Structure 1
Amino acid sequence: MERTQTWRPAGRRLSRSGLTAVGLLALAATALTGCASGKATGDDTGQATASAGGSTSSTTTGGKVSIVVIGGKADDPFWSTIKRGGEDAAKLVKANGGTVTFLGPQNYDNLGPDAAKLTQTALSQNPSAIVVPDWVPDSQNAAIKQAVAKGVKVFIYNSGGVEQADRTGGIKYIGSDDYQAGKAGGVKFAESGAKNILCVNTVPGAANSEARCKGIADGAKSKGAKSKQLALPSSNFGNPSAVTQAIKGALLKDGSVDALVTIGVQDADSAASAIDQAKAAAKVKLGTFDLSQTQLERIKAGKQLFAIDQQPYLQGFYAVSIANQYLSYGVIPPQNPLLTGPLLVTEDNVGSAISGTKAGVR
């Protein structure tokens, strides 16, 4: 099931100290990579590979760092941004003769078991480190623990949080806090007048999407509003027509729904279409997790309330950089989790976000 990713990409605002720590790490890591931006080389199997840095760690292969990064499916635009960050960090690994390999599933229909198999595939390559999202802990944790037991350094990123990193023996969690991201979105909806919010989940059962919808519900409740989840089959993910029709049907069935939030940008486009088709644009507010140019243009035009940015480029960049620096020199940032978000994008700050998406880093 594995194939190399063209990757795609959760909202408590970071504190001033948190932003400072993240900013300093970004500056340091950028200096190490010479601010380079490029792509890993491809091999015959569809796996993207970049060479990377020397290491004194006993877990390195032949004295060189070998990192396997597991991510989302090839046509998922969110993961393309994460992978770009990972590829940029991989340049330093390449300069020292090591490798960074990217793996991901062909679809999300069987996400947990497929991710566990990818971890097994990564382990079979005898890497120094595995960087992996813990999307479905019940399915993935045994494979992650097996990697740790064999002496492979594991870094959890994007999904799972510190809790799953601790449970599996992962060294650090790098990413956003999905629950707090959802909570901020729920508060924003309620403060903007929404009373009955629908959280559209096209990957039900995945830890991050469930945490997002729970956060939306708790944030809304704290301000006197309510939220429920519209769970759709995972096979609908990436199927705009199916998602649009499902959301449209939900809006027509329940006229009290006055806000919609989706777990990703592809679904947000479908939700916008569903709102228009249901002739509900005048009363239904729209929000989404993650960013795209389309979402930001809607926010700028006043047609969408917010998008919650988890800064996926930083997730890929930090995860690969930290793994490399830890393996090579034993250095690691003390913060755990190392948060890349969430950051709420609204009409007040949408301009800078648009610049970032045009550059391919947001």
Structure 2
Amino acid sequence: MRSTLLNVSTTRPRARLLAGASLLAATIALAGCSGGGSGGPQDAGTDGAATGGEGVSIVVMGGATDDPFWSTVKRGGEAAAKAVEAAGGTVTFVAMPNYDNFNPDAAKLVANIDAMKPSAAVIPDWAPEAQNDNISAITSKGIPVFLYNTGIDQVDAVGAQAYIGSDDYESGKLAGETFAAQGAKHVACVNTLPGTTNADARCRGVKEGAEPGGAKYTEMALPTSQFGDPSAVAQAIKGAIIEDPTIDGIFTPGQADTNAAASGIDQAGRTGEVRLGGQNFDTESLKRIQDGSQLFAIDQQGFAQGYYGVSAAFQYAAYGITLPQDPLLTGPALIDADNVEEAISGTDLGVR
């Protein structure tokens, strides 16, 4: 299997993605050398750090604190926050309490950000119907918002500056194409966050990637309260593949659910028969890819999302610097047996 970053049929090729990321990094580096406020360039501090960011406050919204993926995103944001703080600004991270009452809690968290009156905000638009009014309330006050992680198609709707993150539909499509290319005949997308933009887009992509390759598609929608619940997800998958033995491919929306899926497949006695792929990954997923019991993982490169989200919001609020392109894509990246060792090295460093 050939592994590549953004190995999908899209108008955003890898070269463009990497060039944009490199240009943004260069922009950040230049700002760190010269500094400047909204009225024009200013001298750098005596230690070489940028100045002119005094009083600029960035608020970053993320997932639950016990979600490993969002811990990686936050680490990326914290790395960028060091430069913000050196320039005189501040970065505040706010998190979902859990995923039990997902849409209302997401909307409430955006409202809380509005009340904080930040200089700029970085927000994942998981549930547009629930969140968009509150996001628009922020942008209508002239406060710049950068959507990240989710919301690639909502930038104009809420008046955001840009989108930073992976393309969820393309992630799913890459997964579906990979299953079909590896001989899967019936692929099920496990959706433990039905009604959310990212999970629904991924499953739609799986369908539209798998079916042209000759695979049948099924969506397995579970209650949102089961997202990250290993026992519930494992039992649901075990039951589904016992009831329908034609299912030979399982895709999950998050790394905890991928681990649960591996358990469910094992409990059904079908390890090695049912191909497993998941969005995001952890060390367990990578070990399974190494030993051949998991086919692949889709990496949206959460560290980069947090890093570029904080950097872009601060550079815009403090200096008026805009992104070199919109959207700025961080994925999808396919992790399989060909490049799993690189991914393991990244997890050891806490950046993947």
Q: Note whether the superposition's TM-score is higher than 0.5.
A: yes
Partner of 2:286: 296
Residue 55 (structure 1) shift: 4.4
Are 2:310 and 1:311 equivalent residues in the alignment? no
Aligned to 2:48: none
Shift of 1:293: 1.3
**Range moving further from structure 2, 164-173 or 98-107:** 98-107
Query: In 1, are the aligned partners of 2:76 and 2:305 still within 8 Å (CA)?
Result: yes
Length, aligned pairs only: 331
Cα deviation, residue 17, structure 1: 2.6
* Unpaired runs of at least 5, structure 2: 40-52
SS at match of 1:304: coil
- In the alignment, the residues of structure 2 paired with residue 33 and residue 264 of structure 1 have an alpha-carbon distance, to the nearest angstrom, of 35
Cα distance in 1 for partners of 2:106, 2:95 equals: 8
1:127 aligns with 2:109: no
| Percent identity over paired residues | 52
Q: Shift of residue 282 of structure 1?
A: 3.0
User: Which stretch of the first structure deviates more once superposed, 247-256 or 113-122?
Assistant: 113-122
- Secondary structure of the equivalent of 1:121? helix
CA drift at 1:119: 1.2
- The yes-or-no answer on 1:147 pairing with 2:138 is yes
Structure 2 CA distance for partners of 1:196 and 1:146, relative to 1, 3 Å: same
Q: Is the 8 A contact 2:188 2:218 kept in 1?
A: yes
Mapped partners of 1:141, 1:339: distance in 2 = 22
Secondary structure of the residue aligned to 1:317 is: helix
Q: 1:116 aligns with which of 107, 112, 133?
A: 107
**1:97 Cα shift?**
2.3
1:96 matches 2:102: no
Q: Which amino acid aligns with 2:14?
A: S
| Matching residue within 32, 51, 64 for 1:73 | 64
Alignment of 1:1-362 (within 5 A): 12=7, 14-26=13-25, 29=28, 55-56=37-38, 64-161=55-152, 163-362=153-352
TM-score of the aligned structures, taking structure 1 as reference length: 0.87
Mapped contact 1:11–1:177 kept (Cα < 8 A): no
Measured in 1, the distance between the counterparts of 2:148 and 2:201 equals 15
Residues in 2 aligned to 1:250 and 1:147: alpha-carbon distance in whole angstroms: 43
Is residue 54–residue 88 contact of structure 2 (8 Å, CA) maintained in 1?
A: no
SS in 2 for 1:360: coil
CA RMSD in angstroms comes to 2.1
**Secondary structure at the residue paired with 1:282?**
coil
User: What amino acid is the match of 2:22?
Assistant: G
4+ residue segments displaced more than 6 Å: 30-34
Amino acid at match of 1:151: G
Aligned mates of 2:62, 2:281 — CA distance in 1: 18
Aligned equivalents of 2:234, 2:18: Cα separation in 1: 37
Residues in 1 aligned to 2:32 and 2:235: alpha-carbon distance in whole angstroms: 46
Deviates more, 1:256-265 or 1:21-30: 21-30
